[in-house]
Amino acid sequence: MFVCINGTIVKAREAKISVFDQGFLYGDGVYETLRTYGGSVFQMDEHMQRLGSSVKTLKMAESFDVAKVEKWIVKLVKKNGYKESRVRVQVTRGENGFDFGEGKRLNVVIMAERLKDLDPSIYEKGVDVMTIDGSRLRAKVKSTSLLPMIVARQEAADVGAFEAIFVKDGWVKEGSISNVFVVKGDVIFTPKKGVLLGITRDLVVRLVRKLGLKVLEGDFTKRKLYNADEVFITSSVKGMIPVKKVDGRKIGHGRPGSITKNLMAAFHDYTAKKAR
Ligand code: PDD
């Protein structure tokens, strides 16, 4: 497997980054996780735009050339040659001794690994999720400071849940690595404030409107999540996943509902077209 460091492709086992890199020392970095369909990267422009915006928000550099990063991604995916890839692009502030907060030169690392087969049963039967109190700092930024997410995922794994959903002051926010949607009647709700605006979330919102359904982007309570007719979560790597139970409470009939299934079909059509 090859990786790309600041534009140079090297063998993964020979790749080197300084131990003084602020990403290593402080989790001071931003990232994107992308995947391919039919070998081409899904929603590349949207991911690059978000990466650029994360770099800017954290004042990591005066300017950042996402077009260059995009070329590196395409080159690396081709070099590794997997049928489908999961790509991680990570930008860290670089080195500055122990004076944190500033770096001299960003480090851009790209890893493209073979996309693992996803268990079909999660899409057919749905998954269980748990709620957990908390939220992400600078939520619009996709930051590498993932310790709260790791802890939340460990808690979820301990109770056999697939994902942990953050709830802040009673308001549902997002999953540790996903966005959350609820369906009530013929209206679909998804939080907007204090969450990462997922690339898949954005696409699903557009698909909902295309199907002639109503989508409301805004806050909702944990009670609304429990009482939803249908719930699903989204992410770039796994797409749309139906939720059958939240905190052990059955959602709807305890299996993927009809609106979720229609949206999953529309989502599948979209990605299949991209893969051609
Ligand atoms: N995570 N919210 C959070 C906190 C996330 O980390 C992610 C993605 C999402 C979904 O965003 P998108 O649709 O752009 O993937 C929402 C990725 C999969 C990760 O951490 O690897």
Given a contact cutoff of 8 angstroms between Cβ atoms, the answer to whether 252 and 261 are in contact is no
Q: What is the mean pLDDT of residues 19-32?
A: 95
Q: Which two tokens stand for residue 104?
A: 């001299």
Given a contact cutoff of 8 angstroms between Cβ atoms, the answer to whether 85 and 112 are in contact is yes
The length of the chain in residues reads: 276
Bridge partners for 220 per DSSP: none
pTM of the model as a whole: 0.96
Given a contact cutoff of 8 angstroms between Cβ atoms, the answer to whether 91 and 51 are in contact is yes
Q: Of all protein residues, whose CA lies closest to atom 4 belonging to ligand 1?
A: 177
Helix, strand, coil abundance in the chain, percent, nearest 5: 35, 30, 35
pLDDT of residue 96: 84
| CA geometry: angle 266, 267, 268, nearest 5 deg | 90
Share of the chain above pLDDT 70, in %: 100
The pick from 53, 236, 238, 267 for probing ligand 1's pocket by mutation, whose C-beta has the most ligand atoms within 8 angstroms, reads 236
pLDDT grade, residue 220 (50/70/90)?
Answer: very high
Shortest CA distance to 58 belongs to which of 18, 98, 23?
Answer: 23
In the predicted structure, residue 260 carries a pLDDT above the cut 80: yes
What residues have CB less than 8 Å from 121, skipping those under 6 apart?
Answer: none
Å from CA of 199 to ligand 1 middle:
8
Q: Where are the beta strands (DSSP E) in 38-126?
A: 40-41, 85-92, 107-114
Q: What is the mean pLDDT of residues 21-40?
A: 95
Q: Which secondary structure element, helix H or strand E, spans residue 216, and what is its range? A: strand 214-217
pLDDT grade, residue 163 (50/70/90)?
Answer: very high
The 3-class SS string of 113-147 reads: EECCCCCHHHHHHCEEEEEEECCCCCCCCCECCCH
In the predicted structure, residue 180 carries a pLDDT above the cut 80: yes
pLDDT of residue 98: 82
pLDDT of residue 102: 77
Residue ranges lining ligand 1, Cβ < 6 Å: 33, 136, 174, 177-179, 196, 198-201, 234-237
Q: Which residues are catalytic?
A: 142
Looking at ligand 1, which atom is closest to the CA of residue 236? 15
Q: Which secondary structure element, helix H or strand E, spans residue 260, and what is its range? A: helix 258-275
Q: What is the mean pLDDT of residues 218-233?
A: 97
Å from CA of 138 to ligand 1 middle:
14
pLDDT of residue 133: 96
Please identify which residue in the block is written with the tokens 């949207």: 46
In the predicted structure, residue 165 carries a pLDDT above the cut 80: yes
- How much is the mean pLDDT over the chain? 96
Cα gap 141→194, rounded to integer Å: 10
pLDDT grade, residue 275 (50/70/90)?
Answer: confident
